[in-house]
Structure 1
Amino acid sequence: MTLKNFQETIVSGSGVLISNETGIPFDLPPFQMTFDLGIEEAVQEVIGPTGLKGTAGSYQTAERAMLNLTFTHKAPEVIEMVTGRKWKLSSGEIDLAKQITVPSSGIVPPVGTGTEGFGMLVDNPNSKASKIGAFRMTLPLKRVPWAAEPTAPLAEDEWMQGPNFAMRFAPNLAAKREVVTVISSVPQTSYLELGEEPTGSYSVVILFTYTTGNRLILTAGNGAVSVAGNSLDMNAAETPVKLRLDQEPGSCYSYKLKRSMQKVAC
């Protein structure tokens, strides 16, 4: 064995999932992977002349392979796999929430094109606001109809909601620079929404690269996300995903490992 062969090892892995329904592949973001073979075995026992029990071998009784993937990017497909549900294109109302410090003028100007809140209608019935009152209790503000140029000052704790999330607040709120929380909604013609359709099954291709440039390739034709016990922490640096490798009918194993003799070319 040469020193070069002795030093050969796997550097890293990358993967692709292929939807078995559409045949469309999508690249996975970088991940760490643990391959749980899920092997179960039964141990055979014997009893010796002295009456003591011992073992005489074992045999495999099950193999339930699982890929445990840990992603550092919350790509849309990663969220699909965590929830087990596909994204879909939708249109309709998008909920908004904003916490602001009331300007000394009491006026919040409308937002521009492409900014959250653009397209909001005047006096949206979904618009509500509150402030923190005595004993830090939340107190609602009273919304009155929008007027671009009010003829009289707003009464205490009153506010208005105008076009494109423009707002006007009462003088007492502006004088104290109150922090208020506003909720509303805005119509959008196109957005992504987590739908009801399950993710289905995937063909899995995981490519491991050796220091020599050769590949070790793991393939499985019937991978399915395991959603039991999943949680989605949007603030976490890592997102774990469990991908169960189900056995295809008539096959002996749920996955294959192949060592390619060709090398990666850049």
Structure 2
Amino acid sequence: MKIISSRDNAFYKELKAIATSSQARRKAGRSLLDGVHLCQSWLDLRGAPEHCVVSEDALANPEVAAIVARVESLQAHVTALPDALFGAISQVENGINIVFVVESPVPSRAPGLVESAVLLDGVQDPGNVGSILRSAAASGIGQVYCSPGTAFCWSPKVLRAAMGAHFVLDIFENIELAPLVRDASVPVLATSGYASERLYALDLRRPVAWVLGHEGQGVSQELLELATHRVAVPHAGKVESLNVAACAAVCFFEQLRQREV
């Protein structure tokens, strides 16, 4: 285990840039996994990180010590920082001070709608994007396509909200969705609060692609017109519509329910 105590250390400067700058993360092709749960999930699903970084005080935590031992057994790098230095790279308040530096995974296949997938059309809130990724992974969907303007999937807030879903999904970012929909081999279902078709009337036992739109504007008119179906989730009460992440969860798990009947 290496110990760094200087803010001028080259690795620490690089680490801080990745932690605080989306542009730096994109340029480096690396992400920061903050906290015990994400680090454990990475080890379980992907293996060794490029680098494990802990605060010196956190080494006394049994969960952190177990993670560090696993990382060292895989012969990956481990670095300890004083708490004061670690605080500048973590965005989790009152968290347990451990992060992994990992290479942001790239999709294992080429783009193409040939199986169940999710298309995010300008979904801007990181919490919503993370929740959608988590629901997609939990319901057996394997691919997510993000249009320009959708929140960066490897940002810290999206990673925390998704709780490890990233590690089992193929995530395509900055994808123009219209050509993808035109060439789709599966039905494309665009969600809309104004649609006449109701979710529970559809046959969802086969693969479909779900299109979910911007929190305020919804799915773009172009994608609505290209979609095979425009779908509404029925709801009671006087609220105008569901939150996009809640809508996604209802849709995904209705598809799962029908498949398992």
The structure whose Rg is larger is 1
| TM-score normalised by length of structure 1 | 0.18
